[in-house]
């Protein structure tokens, strides 16, 4: 029982490290985005606003929001490692932000 608990603790700790590294890489990549794309990524994916809410907030067309999100995803794919990008996509899907 003790050994099983230790293994579970080690796995949990490793998952926390991987998560922290992926999030650090993600935030660094987001900072490299063009200003408008970065702002829209932050407002939608990180703050949870809908496309319509972002369009209203920034006083832009909703299609512009969608286009900027697609542009940002394309650029993030270039800046992130394959695993980090897939992790980011999985978060988007899990939290329904795509």
8-50 per-position pLDDT tens digit: 777 788 888 877 887 788 889 999 999 999 999 999 988 999 9
Question: Per the structure block, which two tokens stand in for 23?
Answer: 């999030």
pTM of the model: 0.72
Helix (H) or strand (E) holding 47: none
Q: Which string of DSSP letters, residue by residue, matches 69-92?
A: HHHHHHHHHHHS-HHHHHHHHHHH
Q: For residue 16, what pLDDT is reported?
A: 84
Indicate if the pLDDT at residue 72 is higher than 90.
Answer: yes
Q: For residue 98, what pLDDT is reported?
A: 44
Q: For residue 95, what pLDDT is reported?
A: 63
């Amino acid at each position: 029982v003790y050994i099983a608990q230790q293994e579970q603790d080690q796995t949990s700790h490793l998952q926390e490290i991987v998560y922290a590294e992926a999030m650090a890489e993600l935030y660094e990549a987001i900072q490299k985005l063009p200003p408008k794309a970065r702002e829209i990524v932050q407002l939608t994916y990180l703050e949870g606003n809908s496309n319509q809410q972002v369009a209203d907030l920034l006083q832009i067309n909703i299609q512009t929001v969608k286009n900027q999100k697609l542009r940002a995803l394309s650029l993030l794919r270039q800046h992130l490692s394959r695993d980090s990008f897939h992790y980011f996509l999985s978060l988007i899907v899990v939290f329904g932000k795509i």
